[in-house]
Amino acid sequence: MGQQPDNQAATITGSGYDAWLSYPKLPQGNLYKQYVKWCRAAVSVTEEQDTVQAALREWQRGITSMLDIESESGAEPAADGFTVAFGTFHGGNPLIEAIFDEAAIQAVGPEGFAVRTSLTHKCIAVGASSPAGVLYGVFHLLRLIGSQKEIERLDETVNPVNALRMINHWDNFDGSVERGYSGRSFLYENNRFTDDLDRITDYARLMSTAGINAIAINNVNVHALETLFISTYLPDVARIADVFRIYGIRLFLSVNFAGPMHEGEVGTADPLDAGVREWWKKKAAEIYAVVPDFGGFVVKADSENRPGPFTYGRDHADGANMLAEALEPFGGIVIWRCFVYNCKQDWRDRKTDRARAAYDHFKPLDGKFHDNVILQIKNGPMDFQVREPVSPLFGALEQTNQVIEFQIAQEYTGQQRHVCYLVPQWKEIMEFDTLAKGGAAPVKHIVDGSLWGNRFSGVAAVSNVGNDLNWTGHLLAQANLYGFGRLAWNPELSAEEIAAEWISLTFGTDAAVAGVISRILLDSWEIYESYTAPLGVGWMINPEHHYGPNVDGYEYSQWGTYHYADHQGIGVDRTVATGTGYSAQYMGSNAQRYDSLEECPDELLLFFHHVPYTHVLNSGKTVIQHIYDTHFAGAERADGLLAAWSGLKGSIAEGLYAQVEERLRGQAAHSKEWRDQINTYFYRKSGIEDSGARKIY
C-alpha cells in the first residue's frame, strides 16, 4: 500500500483497500516452513531499474506480511545458503545467468518470465526478458506462496496469451464516473487531476499483479475539458503515465473525434481534410514528447450523439486511419469502438434491430483499416446484458485487428450492489466456437490473434473502480476486476481457479471460509439471471440509471422493443423468414441453430424468437412457468447467499464481513422486488396461473 496519512490508517485497516495485495499471514505447517527456508534473509537483485526495484519492494512487502520475516536485498544468504534472485536475463545477476540457459531464455516472450528452483544453487530464480516480466514473475511467485503452493520444484515458463490486456476508465474530469458504482473518480475532482499519486500507485500495483498492461484514463464520451487532455493538461497526464510505466502499464487517452474543432484551430473534423490530418499529427508529436511510451487513442464515434466521420460522408475506416497515420511514427495504436447504432431510429418498427448494427457497419470494412488500428467489439451485439449471444463480428472479420470488450462495471448485472461474479460468463463467451475458417474457431483464438495472425489483438474491459476505500463498492466485486486481468493473461484458467486465487490472496487460506466464498461467487451469475432476465430478454430495467426492475422502462423500449410482450407471447423475432434476419450474421450451424425454434438454446430463446407463453422449452416447462419458477427460485437463492455469508461471522475480519453482509442483505430484499414485478407483469399480461399456486400479486 502507498504511504497513507496516519489518520487514515485505522479506516483503511479491514476496509478491503489492499484487495488481493493484502498478503494475509499464512498458517504454520510444512509449507510455511518451506517458504521460510527459501525466502528468509537474502534476495539477490542487482538492477536499479525502476520496475525491478518495484518488484523488490513488492517481494519484501509480501514476505514480511505473509511469513513475518525480513528479506533484504544484498544481505548474506541464510545460514543454510538458500536465497531468492530475480532480474532480467542479461541484467548482470550471476545467479540468473547461471540458472537460466539459452533455451529457457528463448522461451520467454517480451512480457513473460521463467521461475526455476535450483537445488544446485540453493536459489529460486525469477528471470525475464524485460523489467515488466520480472515484476509479473515476482507477483506470480507471491501468488504461489499466498495460495499455499509448493515452491521447491518450480520450473515454469509463463507468457501472457493476449498482448493487449486493457482497462477502460469511464471517469469524467469533474470527478463523476459514468456507470460508476464505487464512489467518485480517484483520478480527477472538480476539473483537476488528483494530487494523490499514492492511490494511483496502489491502483497500478493492483492492475499489474492481475496482468493489466494498458489503461485508458478517461471516458469514451469525451467532454469539452477532457478534449484538452492532449494539450493543456498533458503535464498532468504525464505524471500518471510516469506511475503506470513503473508497473508495466501504458497509458491511453479517449479522444474527441471533433477535437480540431473544439480547440478552435480547424473549422472541420473531416478525416480527409489535410488540415485535420496535420492537426492530429502535431498533437501526436506533442504527446509523445512528454509521454514517450504513450499507448494511443480510444475512440467512440458516430454513436449515441458522439461526433464521427459520418458527418462528412466518410466511413469508420477513413476516421480510424487518419488517427492511425498520426500515431504510427511513434508506435501508437488506435482503438476504435464498434458500439455504433442509431439511437434515434424508429423503435416501433419490428424490422429495426440494434443487434444488427455493429456487424452491418463493420463487416463491409474488413481489410480497409491500417494495421495499427484495432476494432474494439463488445462481447455481445447489444450492451453487456446478463445474457446475450456472442457478437457475430467475431469470426466475420478476417483481415482486421480486434479486441473483445467486456464490462467489469456491473451496469446491467447489479451495479456492484448485487454480487455477480462475471468470470463464468466471460469464459463462456471466450469458448464460443464461431466456426470461422471452416473449423474450430473459438473467440479466445480470435482475440489472441492466433486464428487470423493479427498484428494487434487482446482483451479490454470497462473499469469498476472508484474512490471507495475498497475500490469496487461491493467487496466481492473485486473478484471481477482481478478475474478479468487473470483471464486476459491466460484464458485457459477456469472460473474456479481464478476465484480460488482471489479468495486466498484476499481472505487467507482457511478452507472452510474459501469454500463458502467460492460457492457464493460461482453461483451468483446464475442467481442474478434467474430473478432478472428470463431466457435472453434482458433490458427490463429502469431507464437512465439502469438499476432495478421496470419491464417496459428502458429508454428505447416505450413500445416493448426489447421484449415485444403482449397478451399472447414474448420475444424478439430475429429469424430470417419472418424477423430482422439477425440470425444470419452467424456462420454455419450457429446460424441454423439460432434461427431454428426447435434448436435454439433455451437461455437465448427470447433473444431470437417471439413465442407464445405456452411454448414448451427443452427443459419441459412452458415459457410462462419458467418465468415464474426462476424468479421465485432466484429470490430464494439470494436469501441463501446471505445465509451462507452469515456463517462466516467471526472467521474473517469484521470490517470485511460487515460490508459484504450489508450488500447481501440489500440484494436479498431487492431480488424479491424483481421477483414480484416481473411475475406480476407477465401474469397480468398472459392471464396464465402459476402451476405452483404461489402468490402473484
**In the chain, how long is the greatest CA-to-CA distance?**
81
Catalytic residue among 315, 411, 448, 468: 411
d(CA 97, CA 117): 14
DSSP state for residue 416 in the 8-state scheme: T
Using alpha carbons only, give the angle 147, 150, 153 rounded to the nearest 5 degrees: 145
Are residues 358 and 338 in contact, defined by beta-carbon separation less than 8 angstroms?
A: yes
Strand partners, 71: 41
Strand partners, 502: none
- Alpha carbon of 418 to those of 252, 423, 542: distances in Å? 31, 15, 16
Coil, strand or helix: which one is 259? helix
DSSP state for residue 408 in the 8-state scheme: -
Q: Is residue 58 flagged as an active site residue?
A: no
Strands (DSSP E) along 162-295, which ranges? 164-168, 214-216, 250-254
Catalytic residue among 50, 286, 304, 346: 304
Q: How far is CA 628 from the centre of its chain?
A: 32
Catalytic residue among 383, 405, 448, 595: 383
Helix (H) or strand (E) holding 124: strand 123-128
- Alpha carbon of 287 to those of 18, 216, 478: distances in Å? 33, 14, 33
Q: Is residue 383 flagged as an active site residue?
A: yes
First to last CA, the chain: 51
d(CA 447, CA 459): 7
Q: Would you list the DSSP string of 614-653?
A: TPBPTTSSBHHHHHHHHHHHHHHHHHHHHHHHHTTTTTS-
Strand partners, 128: 88, 113
Residue 369's contacts (CB-CB under 8 Å, 6 or more residues apart) are 317, 320, 321, 324, 336, 375, 400, 401
Strands (DSSP E) along 300-448, which ranges? 333-337, 373-378, 401-407
Residues known to be catalytic: 304, 383, 411
